[in-house]
Structure 1
Amino acid sequence: MFCMGENLTGGYGGADILKGCTIGVEQGEIAVIVGPNGAGKSTAMKAMLGMLDLREGQVTLDGKDITNFSPQARIAAGIAFVPQTSNVFTGMSVEENLEMGAFLREDDFTVTRDEIYDLFPILREKRNQLAGELSGGQRQQVAVGRALMTQPSVLMLDEPTAGVSPIVMDELFDRILEIRETGVAILMVEQNARQALNIADRGYVLVTGENRFTDTGEALLANPEVRKSFLGG
C-alpha cells in the first residue's frame, strides 16, 4: 500500500477513539472512509497526518515508516490535507490562497497554479476575489487547489462535500476523479457514503474506531448489510 495506517490505536489524551483500525490507499486510487457519526473517521485521517499521538500502530508512506514524523514533515514528504472547516484564508484572495500552498516550494510554481485554474475554471475567474466572499463549493475548490499546490503524492480530504448542494457535490467528485487520473492517491472521509463509494476503488467502513468492512467500493455498495446499516437500505 502506498500510504497506510496500520493498527491505529489512540485518541486525544482520554479514551482511545481509534481501536486498531487499518486504512490505506494506492497511487492513482480513491479510498473512502465511511461510517456513522463518532466512528473515528476524521480521527483516523488526522492520525495519518500526525495530529494525534498513537499508542499503537504505524503510518507508512511509499514503504517508509513516518510514524514519528511531525505533520509538517509529512506534508514535506508528500501528504496534503484539506480539513472540513476553516480551510481557506478568508481575508486573502483566491490567488493568494493558492500561493500559500506553495510555501515549501523553491521552484517556479506558476505552472501548478495554472493547472489548478484549468481544473477549477471558476477560480481563475475569481482569482482576485477574497476567499471569504466565495460560495461554500468555491471555497472547497480553493482549499483543494491550495493542497494541490504542494504537488502531493497523497491527497487527504475530510468531508469535501459537507454543506454543498447535490450539483456542487457531483462537480467536486468529478474533479476528484480527474485528480486521481494524474496518479495522486486520494484518501477521503465522506458523509455522502453512497455517492463516495460509487467513485471509490477501495472503501473502509469504520464503527467505534474499528474496521467493520473493508472492500472495493463496488462490493461495499452491493453488500446487503452495508446497504442496510450505513447506506439507508
Structure 2
Amino acid sequence: MSFLIGENMTGGYGATNILNDCNISVEKGEIAVIVGPNGAGKSTAMKAIFGMLNLREGRVLFNDEDITALNPQDRVRKGMGFVPQTHNVFPTMTVEENLEMGAFIREDDFRHTMEQVYDLFPILKQKRRQPAGELSGGQRQQVAVGRALMTQPQVLMLDEPTAGVSPIVMDELFDRIIDVAHTGIAILMVEQNAKQALNIADKGYVLVQGTNAYTDTGEALLANPEVRRTFLGG
C-alpha cells in the first residue's frame, strides 16, 4: 500500500469524465511527477486527490486511511499541502504574513518551521517585510511552497510550480523540491517541463485523456523511445 494513492479515479465536471480509471501514488520521501499533453487531466487528477473534485468511481487513500469523503480543509489537517498553479499568494500581504497564513491550523509555536522555510529559500528572509505581489514570479512560487510547508505536511502537492519562470529559476526550484523530499516529505507534482521534471522524479505518470498511458521510474520514462517521441519532443 502506497503512502498516498488515488486509486481507479473516475470523475470530471458536469456529465463529462476527465479522469478515467486513473491511478496515481507516491511514497514518503519520493518525488512523483505527472506529465502529459494539454487536456490530459493532470491538474484534474491533483484536484481529485486533494478533494477539490468529487469522484464518481475510485477512492483516495492517505497513510492507510480512506479520505475520499474528506474536504480539502480536512485533508490539510491530515497532512496534505497543496500549491495551485495560480493565485497562490496573498499579494498585498508581506512574505512573512503569507507564511503565517500557512500556519493557520497550527496551535503550537511555528517560528522554528518559519526559520526552516527561510533556510530553504534565503531570498524570502531578505524580503520578508515586502508585499508578495512585488516579488518576481519565481520568488512568489517560493512563498507559495513555503506557505504550504508551514502546515508541516507529510505530502506536498505542486501544480505546475515552474510555470512562467526562467530556466535558471526552474532549476533552482527543482533543487529545493529535491531538498524537501530529502526531509521525508512525499512530493506529487504536475509539470509542463516534462523532461526536466522526469529527470528528478523517482516515479513518473504520463496521462492521456485522463488515463495512465505510461507509469515507470523517471529514468525509464526518459529512456522510453515511444515516450520520448510522443511526449518529450524526440
Question: Which range, TM-score by smaller chain?
Answer: over 0.9
- Structure 2's unaligned 5+ residue stretches are none
**Alignment of 1:139 onto 2:144:** no
Aligned residue type for 1:108? D
Aligned to 1:83: 84
Aligned to 2:225: 224
Aligned-partner Cα distance in 1 for 2:124–2:230: 39
3-state DSSP of counterpart to 1:99: helix
Aligned-partner Cα distance in 1 for 2:53–2:219: 32
Aligned to 2:35: 34
- Structure 1's unaligned 5+ residue stretches are none
Aligned to 1:49: 50
3-state DSSP of counterpart to 2:17: coil
Aligned-partner Cα distance in 2 for 1:14–1:32: 28
Aligned residue type for 2:167? P
- How far residue 18 of structure 1 moved from its aligned partner, in angstroms, is 0.3
- How far residue 103 of structure 1 moved from its aligned partner, in angstroms, is 0.2
- How far residue 14 of structure 1 moved from its aligned partner, in angstroms, is 2.6
Aligned identity (percent) is 74
**Alignment of 1:174 onto 2:175:** yes
Q: How many positions carry a matched residue from both structures? A: 233
3-state DSSP of counterpart to 2:197: helix
Aligned-partner Cα distance in 1 for 2:54–2:141: 28
**Alignment of 1:152 onto 2:153:** yes
- Tell me the alpha carbon deviations over residues 140-161 of structure 1, each in whole angstroms, 9 at most, x when there is no partner: 0000000000000000000000
- Tell me the alpha carbon deviations over residues 25-80 of structure 1, each in whole angstroms, 9 at most, x when there is no partner: 00000000000000000000000011011000000001100000111110100000
3-state DSSP of counterpart to 1:44: helix
- How far residue 13 of structure 1 moved from its aligned partner, in angstroms, is 1.8
RMSD, aligned CA: 0.4
Aligned-partner Cα distance in 1 for 2:25–2:79: 15
Aligned-partner Cα distance in 2 for 1:28–1:53: 27
Aligned-partner Cα distance in 2 for 1:116–1:53: 32
**Alignment of 1:98 onto 2:84:** no
Aligned-partner Cα distance in 2 for 1:210–1:67: 19
3-state DSSP of counterpart to 1:54: coil
Aligned-partner Cα distance in 1 for 2:176–2:26: 18
Aligned residue type for 1:63? D
Aligned to 1:10: 11
Aligned-partner Cα distance in 1 for 2:179–2:50: 23
Aligned to 1:108: 109
- Tell me the alpha carbon deviations over residues 91-122 of structure 1, each in whole angstroms, 9 at most, x when there is no partner: 10000000000000000000000000000000
**Alignment of 1:121 onto 2:122:** yes
3-state DSSP of counterpart to 1:11: strand
- How far residue 12 of structure 1 moved from its aligned partner, in angstroms, is 1.7
3-state DSSP of counterpart to 1:17: strand
Aligned-partner Cα distance in 2 for 1:144–1:109: 16
Aligned residue type for 2:117? I
Aligned-partner Cα distance in 1 for 2:47–2:15: 16
Aligned-partner Cα distance in 2 for 1:177–1:52: 28
3-state DSSP of counterpart to 1:53: coil
3-state DSSP of counterpart to 1:72: helix
- Tell me the alpha carbon deviations over residues 150-202 of structure 1, each in whole angstroms, 9 at most, x when there is no partner: 00000000000000000000000000000000000000000000000000000
